[in-house]
Amino acid sequence: MQDRSLTRRTVLASATVVAASAAGAVGVTATPAAAHGRDHRLKKILSRMSVEAKIGQLFVPYFYGASATSPSPFDQERNLRELGVRTVAELIAKYHLGGVIYFSGWTNNIQDPRQVAELSDGVQRASLALPTPVPCLISIDQEHGANVRIGSGATQLPGAMALGAGRSTSDARTAGRISGTELAALGIRQNFAPVADVDVNPANPVINVRSFGADPHEVGRMVAAQVTGYQQAGVVACAKHFPGHGDTGQDSHTGLPVITHTREEWDRVDAPPFRAAIAAGVDSIMTAHLQVPALDPSNEPATLSPTILQGVLRDELGFDGVIVTDALNMAGVRTKYGDDRVPVLALLAGADQLLFPPDIDVAYHGVLAAVRGGEITEDRLDESVLRILRLKDRTGLLDGSPYTSPREVDRVVGARGHRLAADRIAERTTTLLVNEGQALPLRRGRRKLLVTGASPAFPTDETRTTVPELARAFEELGHRVTHLATGREPDAAKIDEAVAAARGRDSVVVTTDNVGATSAQRTLVSRLRATGVPVVHLAVRNPYDIAHLGDVPASLVSYCWTEVELRAAARVIAGRAEPRGRLPVPVQRADDPSRVLFPMGHGLSYAD
């Protein structure tokens, strides 16, 4: 089995030392007079708020249902059980909320673009009915790639590591602008993206392809470009997860990771993308629930550390925007303190927005008690509320109507021009790692193909899975295709079925998803190679899969399995597009992680 710590050290040692710049970013800075005038207006709003209303502005909770006032009976019951109210409109009224967050699937917030826009309008009506009416800042995690909330109807774009493989800041900025434009049309004005973590640990279970790559300079360039794209579209960008979640083998959702970088390593590896985001004018930065002894020897989680948030982020890096906590229901921030104390300590550390408390009533009243008892001064409270009001002002929420336009939703969301741009960007990210004997592109003509292998469900639609969708993409290109999904852990019978299906085919396209040293996917690929039918391997998530597969005649990486990336991979395999992506991370040998199998920057073209 691979020595993961040695792999991490190898990647860490290969990280570029050059500090990141924000070249190509377009920042908009208000004149001192304009900023003073704006703050004078916002302070008037602040002066009309009660303490309870100010505290409500800090919270960004979840809720259930596709409607603000009339969710399904099932969602009303879930809201009542977990939140103490039946609807999000009641939740806003009860806690004077300044923000909410949408999720897909488990919260049933997202069905289609028109419904999302109507939900946003309902949220704003509830917000403007408060004693001090202030529009709500609606947020989402729409990173694209492996982490998508709005699927059907909206434009799907390549994720961070795919964009990192494309190496184009123009494409990264365009992707941010397209996504931001569609979110704004849906009434969503804060997106918790881009990820600024540097992926120097192949064993990282939570960041991985959500990162732009392993080179701090390149990650910084991409982060700055995406920040610019989102904020040009009128959406608050959020660089995450400060001070850097890229080098951990533990998921902060389930535990409290420790980053063992020295201060010099942190300055060289983790800090550059956040410096680039700040230079690009990023409006918000999200904290990480992890310990960084080199930055804070007390070992408080970064979310609760004044040394990290105030001392490093604000004082050293000069960030004066909104600091958002990562979700407060995660285990990484709940290991030492109760749910009533965590939001208080986060505010005292320097945070402004309190995301996803596990119990909104406990969290809200915990902060209220801290203010009434003098632990949190009203001046400190006002600092955070003023920063949040500035965000709302910069996105235009405080000017005119915060409501959506059905015509704009239909015109913008999933627009043909957006989808065509996404397809072209995805083509430029698909990476060809191996092409022995010029196995690719496929020969011209109507080829008989088998598409088989791992078939993860689409991030936002579990009824659509990778193998049949990839097969459909080849069919649309004119090929005769049989498909057979084997899963991530195929048993002997399923492998035999795939081998039998390969007979008589011109080529086999086999997908893999997160192959490990003992994965049955290795056996599947080996058995398919033994049939003598040409095998094309496509890693639909991690670029590291190839290290475990031995000799394959052709191998590509798409970095994710969403529709846009699968279509692009099919076009590249079929020769309808040229592979242009280059690895944004090194791939180590499985049998000797101290040696690099494919270096950063590796990527073949058909001319090679």
User: Is residue 549 one of the residues assigned to a domain?
Assistant: yes
Does 341 fall in a domain?
yes
Does the structure show a pLDDT above 50 at 597? Answer: yes
User: In 3D, which of 421, 432, 505, 509 has the Cα closest to residue 468?
Assistant: 509
Amino acid 452: pLDDT: 98
How many CB atoms lie under 10 A from the CB of residue 72? 13
Q: How many domains does the chain divide into?
A: 2
In 3D space, the residue among 226, 213, 209, 167 whose CA is nearest the CA of residue 560 turns out to be 209
Q: What is the pLDDT of residue 255?
A: 81
In a domain, residue 419? The reply is: no
* DSSP 8-state code for residue 241: E
516, burial (CB in 10 Å: exposed 0-12, middle 13-18, buried 19+):
middle
For the record, the structure tokens of 222 come out as 């991409």
Residue 547 has pLDDT above 80, yes or no: yes
Q: How many CB atoms are closer than 10 A to CB 329?
A: 18
What is residue 28's predicted lDDT score, i.e. its pLDDT? 42
Which residues are designated catalytic? 253, 326
Take residue 158 and report the two structure tokens written for it.
Answer: 């390549």
Domain that holds residue 547: 430-598
In a domain, 5, yes or no: no
Residue type, 434: V
> pLDDT at position 243, please?
97
Residue of 550, 475, 559 lying closest to 511 (CA atoms): 559
What pLDDT digit, counting tens, does each position of 262-316 carry?
999 999 999 999 999 999 999 999 999 999 999 999 999 999 999 999 999 999 9
Q: What is the CATH number of the domain that holds 346?
A: 3.20.20.300
pLDDT for 34 beyond 70:
no
Q: Clarify whether residues 306 and 447 are in a common domain.
A: no
C-alpha 37/C-alpha 20 separation (Å) is: 34
**Same-domain status, 69 and 165:** yes
Judge whether residue 23 has pLDDT over 60: no
pLDDT of 2 reads: 37
Helix axes 51-58, 360-372, angle to 10 degrees: 130
Six token digits for residue 602:
């590796």
Task: Tell me the pLDDT tens digit for each residue of 203-251.
Answer: 888 899 999 999 999 999 999 999 999 999 999 999 999 999 998 877 6
Q: Convert the pLDDT of each residue in 521-538 to its tens digit.
A: 999 999 999 999 999 999
**Do both 245 and 363 map to the same domain?**
yes
Do residue 406 and residue 435 come from a single domain? no
Residues 383 and 435 in one domain: no
* Adjacent-strand bridge partners of 480: 448
Question: What gap in Å lies between CA 485 and CA 491, rounded to an integer?
Answer: 12
Of 332-341, 418-427, 566-575, which gets the smallest average pLDDT? 332-341
Q: Which of 249-263, 424-438, 555-569 has the lowest mean pLDDT?
A: 249-263
Answer yes or no: do 267 and 374 share one domain: yes
Distances (CA, A) of 457 to 99, 485, 487, 494: 30, 11, 10, 19
> For residue 248, which of 211, 295, 201, 213 has the smallest C-alpha distance?
201
What tokens does 397 get? 């929420």
User: Are the beta carbons of 223 and 176 closer than 8 angstroms?
Assistant: no
Last residue of a domain, one of 352, 379, 412: 412
Q: Say what the pLDDT of residue 92 is.
A: 98
Domain-located, residue 354 = yes
pLDDT of 254 over the 80 cut = no
Q: How far is CA 382 from CA 43, 209, 320, 462, in A?
A: 9, 38, 14, 43
Contact 101, 140 (CB under 8 A): yes
- 222 forms beta bridges with none
Q: Which of 459, 550, 448 is nearest to 501 (CA)?
A: 448
Domain final residue pick, 412, 438, 457: 412
Q: What is the pLDDT of residues 160-182, one digit of tens each?
A: 999 999 999 999 999 999 999 99
Average confidence (pLDDT) over 55-82: 98
- CATH code of residue 443: 3.40.50.1700
Q: Verify that 524 and 550 share a domain, yes or no.
A: yes
Cα 228 to Cα 582: distance, rounded to the nearest angstrom: 23
Looking at the fold, whether 384 and 440 belong to one and the same domain comes out as no
Q: Tell me: the pLDDT tens digits for 107-156?
A: 999 999 999 999 999 999 999 999 999 999 999 999 999 999 998 899 99
Residue type, 520: A
Q: Measure the CA–CA gap between 325 and 241, rounded to whole angstroms.
A: 9
168 within a domain of the structure (yes/no): yes
Residue 195 included in any domain:
yes
Q: Based on the fold, state whether residues 500 and 582 are members of the same structural domain.
A: yes
pLDDT one-digit tens code per residue, 424-476: 999 999 999 999 988 999 988 888 999 999 999 987 777 889 999 999 999 99
The pLDDT of residue 364: 98
Last residue of a domain, which of 367, 385, 412? 412
What is the model's pLDDT at position 407? 97
Does 45 map to a domain? no
Considering the domain architecture, whether residues 390 and 444 belong to the same structural domain is answered as no
Q: Are residues 96 and 59 in the same domain?
A: yes
Which residues fall within 8 angstroms of residue 4, CB to CB, at 6 or more apart?
201, 202, 203, 249, 593
| Shared domain check, 493 and 393 | no
Under 8 Å between Cβ of 522 and 541: no
Contact 354, 28 (CB under 8 A): no
